[in-house]
Amino acid sequence: MQIPYEFLGKIFVLMLFLALLGTGLALLIGAYSFKKHRIIFPDFVLFTLYLFYSPAKWICRVFRIRGTLVDDILIDVRNAVMYDDFLNIKGRRMLLLPQCLRHPSCKARCDPVYGYECKRCGLCDIAKLCDAADRCNFKVFVVPGGSFVKKIFKEYRPEACLGVACYNELSENMQAVSFVPVQGVLLLKDGCFNTEANVEEIIQKMEMCNV
């Protein structure tokens, strides 16, 4: 039997066209939701933008739109969709912080499973966040990377998660742990070193759980 290369080629081009069209549509709806703070078709937006994450970034580049818009949409829509569930969890809740928030002179030891054990020396904002987490019944983990998130989920088995990270890490990790109610807060200043977080916003999210 002869392989119909021409027909298969046409099918491939059609599927590519439909995928780009769907991605563009999800971007438009997501951008509208993000700007107007009115979430519409959240499942379609999340599913399509996670599936076609790289093409969505490519579309942004082509139309000279900032590439972080894709992550902004994913974080914002996920936060909106899971907010009520997150507030209702009264069991094990955890706050995940990136290790780049630590002060350069931090003396905390890194546990191979749970990450850095903050001594609350006060040199960086993590001490303040640990105090607030105690008041709000959250367990804090300061992690060096995504592999620690998996280990912590396996050992601690949280029922809700509040994460802090930079754009692409936050949207990726929120998707990875979305089997529990999750909320995300973006870093104010990212990078691999000496980063800054919106401490008030993080504390506010934890306090809302106790209202």
Residues that bind ligand SF4 (CB under 6 A): 102-103, 106, 108, 118-124, 126-127
Radius of gyration of the chain measured on its C-alpha atoms: 20
Q: Which is nearer to ligand SF4, 119 or 139 (CB)?
A: 119
Residue 52 or residue 116: which is nearer to ligand SF4 going by CB? 116
- Least Å from the CB of residue 110 to ligand SF4: 11
List, in sequence order, every residue forming a beta bridge with 97; answer none if it has no partner.
142
Q: How far is the CB of 156 from ligand SF4 (least distance, A)?
A: 19
With respect to ligand SF4, which residue has the nearer C-beta, 118 or 160? 118
Name the minimum Å distance from CB 54 to ligand SF4: 34
The dihedral of CA 117, 122, 123, 129: what is its sign? positive
CA distance 170 to 19: 24
Residue 88: φ, ψ to 5°: -85, -10
DSSP designation for 180: S
| Least distance to ligand SF4, CB of residue 106, Å | 3
